[in-house]
Structure 1
């Protein structure tokens, strides 16, 4: 007889997991477009960024490899963590922690390097706060679900 108790999956795990997966799919897409040098991608967001696409692409392509590596850890860790959350895997916690580590490294790296005027202040600062808030929430949520026995 199986003595392991099964914890019922709360409805909010499916909602948060689905929203997190959709949100966290944006980062890897942006990362791939940048790493492949897709100028059309950057030109399509010129108005939002407040700078021409070629200038923005050149800035991101000129980032040191360690910042790129942190960026990759951040975006891919978040997407994998979201999927692991939906799979009810305890490894979602580790993936979200790695994602936050990557976010910290890339944020620190860009700030220490000096952000161009078009990439700092205003809506970019708000967007950075939103990213940090969501990433932190997802880690805390995953830890909570693991501690409650929902993630196995």
Structure 2
């Protein structure tokens, strides 16, 4: 049995493209960190009073399962955005996988914060924003499935 899709409204395309742009930054951050880009990690570490070597050491010490869940969070969202653009119902599933990865990664980040990080205000705010955007994308995908915009 096939489900017929209706014409996607302009707002759908705007949300889908913004979703991909938002998640592309997460992919960039993940790649720069995994590739141990000294310039990127050095600039990121400045906020914590750390240099590139200290940031590289922090991420290198991350447990393997932490890296796996981080990858699920990042690449699940990228896949969800691409699937949304392709108008596939599996976009919602990819975003849910991403949510699992994000939640585990956030817990790990709070249990083992970056050395020298004493003020958790910014990480908490950023975590809330990440969760809110991802939950909104899951909800939006679900609504678009119900409306038959994606199938």
**TM-score (normalizing by structure 1):** 0.88
Contact preservation (8 Å) 2:5, 2:150: no
**Corresponding residue for residue 83 of structure 1:** 82
1:47 aligned residue: 46
1:9–1:150 contact (8 Å) kept in structure 2: yes
Deviations 1:26-80 (A, max 9, x none): 1111111111221121123343444322222211121100010000000001011
Residues 68-122 of structure 1 show CA distances to partners (whole Å, capped at 9, x for unaligned) of 0000000001011011111110010110000001001111223233553427512
Counterpart of 1:61 in structure 2 is 60
CA contact (8 A) 1:70 1:106 kept: yes
Task: Decide whether aligned partners of structure 1 residues 4 and 94 sit closer, same or farther in structure 2, where only a CA change above 3 A counts.
Answer: closer
- Gap regions ≥5 residues in structure 2: none
The more displaced of 66-75 and 46-55 is: 46-55
Residues 1-152 of structure 1: pairs in structure 2 closer than 5 A: 5-118=4-117, 121-152=120-151
TM-score, normalised via structure 2 length:
0.89
Give the unaligned 5+ runs of structure 1: none
- Provide the aligned length of Structure 1 versus Structure 2: 150
C-alpha RMSD over aligned residues: 2.0
